[in-house]
Amino acid sequence: MKTIELLEQAQPEEKQVFLNEKEKHQEAWQQALSQAVTNPKQLLQALQLDSSLMNEQVLEASNQFRTFVTESFLNRMGKGDPNDPLFKQVWADPLELLEQAGFETDPLDEKSANPVPGLLHKYHGRVLIITNSHCAINCRFCFRRSFPYSDNHFSSKHRQAIFDYLKSDPSIEEVILSGGDPLLLNNARLTELLALFESVGHIKRLRIHSRIPIVLPSRITQGLINCLKRSPLQKIMVIHSNHPQEFNEEVSDAMQMLHQAFPRVLNQSVLLKGINDNAETLISLQNILFEHQIQSYYLHTLDKVKGTGHFDLPLEQALSLYQELQARLPGYMLPRLVTETAGKSEKTLIC
């Protein structure tokens, strides 16, 4: 479809984004993003946590990988609890500064599967587009903290090379928008991307990997849903939730809307020491997902990225925990436990 036709079909709200991009028209979710908490001290204050948690090392860790958390996610944290499972996912812990053997900056060796800037092609039939370099949250355990994004993400500069690559390989049936978080693009830019994929005849499926339905549910607007619904590609959404406490009414509403555009919504989680490394928590998470018609997909072991060692669960413990899940959950609620090893055709976590 041509851009002009899309423009004509666009809802008034999207037209605004199309036309006023340079005039700084902001949607509510964009405003929410600009008000995200980026200062660890402010985070402690908002949660009524002891200011003694703040020190030079926290600042250093937060300088290395910026503290970034939306108010919506923050509002789901318990007050006064330094062990809150949501807080721990975003707190710049001094432990991040410890050097740990085996934890490196590019443990997955992504460089070797990167034929064109902004595109990873590792698995048969599927390519992953590094849609942008940012997320709506900075999860401390993420490999993104050291991913060399600088010129390695989708931009108009690389658009033609990406298009040529997609066209040249008829085995590519699925495009995965990952990131950074692809839903940080505005509706107009997403529409343009979708039109690009639609114009390659052998691409059948569009998959979106996003944590936004969990961390910035206000982004799931009717305008976004309409822009996705319009695409004839088969659509799959993979969200990322690690803990049942990440769900609240706002998130439930966003999930309901997502189902309008995505017949399949899946979830992936990361197994995190001190956050979700017990059977009760993980079982409760699978139940909440099921209630929201979200299919459990992957449970990832931690990627061994520098600065994340304190989240790592020894593989033996991960396996025995997984056996407990297997014993207690129906098969359709059981995520697959996956580990990523450099050079092997298994999984990588990119949200």
Ligand X SMILES: *Cc1c(COP(=O)(O)O)cnc(C)c1O
Binding site for ligand SF4 (CB under 6 A): 135, 137-139, 142, 144, 179, 181, 211, 240, 350-351
* In the complex, minimum distance from the CB of residue 304 to ligand SF4, in angstroms, rounded to a whole number: 15
Is 347 a residue that touches ligand X (CB under 6 A)? yes
Question: Site map for ligand X, 249-288, x if CB under 6 A?
Answer: ----------------------------------------
17 binds, among ligand SF4, ligand X, none (CB under 5 to 8 A by kind): none
- Give whole-number Cα distances, 73 to 12, 163, 195, 197, in Å: 29, 36, 32, 32
* In the complex, minimum distance from the CB of residue 130 to ligand X, in angstroms, rounded to a whole number: 9
258 binds, among ligand SF4, ligand X, none (CB under 5 to 8 A by kind): none
**Please, what is the end-to-end C-alpha distance for the chain in angstroms?**
28
214 binds, among ligand X, ligand SF4, none (CB under 5 to 8 A by kind): none
* In the complex, minimum distance from the CB of residue 122 to ligand SF4, in angstroms, rounded to a whole number: 17
184 binds, among ligand X, ligand SF4, none (CB under 5 to 8 A by kind): none
Closer by beta carbon to ligand X, 27 or else 303? 303
Burial class (CB in 10 A: 0-12, 13-18, 19+), 64: middle
What is d(CA 32, CA 255) in angstroms, rounded to the nearest whole number? 19
Judged by CB under 6 A, the chain residues 119 through 138 that form the site for ligand X are 120, 122-123, 126, 128
Judged by CB under 6 A, the chain residues 135 through 194 that form the site for ligand X are 176
240 binds, among ligand SF4, ligand X, none (CB under 5 to 8 A by kind): ligand SF4
Residues engaged in binding ligand X (CB under 6 A): 120, 122-123, 126, 128, 176, 347-348, 350
